[in-house]
């Protein structure tokens, strides 16, 4: 298992701890869930943009043999 260390302000740590407690999760679980949600959203956004660019430049890509 890999670890990632992030630095939080006191206010962020307190808010994270409060939300984790309110939802019955640990702060680490809460952070992991948030990171996974962000990665899914960004993967979708980047993938959609890549498809848009590929369609927009399809003739050029075809000429280049890509």
pTM: 0.71
Tokens matching residue 2? 């890999």
- Tens of pLDDT, residues 48-60: 999 999 999 999 9
- Tens of pLDDT, residues 15-59: 999 999 999 999 999 999 999 999 999 999 999 999 999 999 999
Q: Sketch the domain layout of the chain as residue ranges.
A: 10-64
What are the phi and psi torsion angles at 2 (to 5°)?
A: -95, 155
Rounded Cα distance, 43 and 35, in Å: 12
Rounded Cα distance, 62 and 31, in Å: 43
């Amino acid at each position: 298992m890999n670890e990632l260390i992030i630095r939080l302000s006191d206010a962020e740590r307190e808010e994270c701890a409060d939300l984790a407690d309110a939802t019955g999760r640990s702060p680490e679980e809460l952070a992991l869930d948030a990171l996974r949600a962000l990665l899914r959203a960004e993967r979708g956004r980047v993938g959609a943009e890549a498809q848009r660019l590929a369609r927009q430049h399809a003739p050029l890509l075809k000429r280049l043999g890509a």
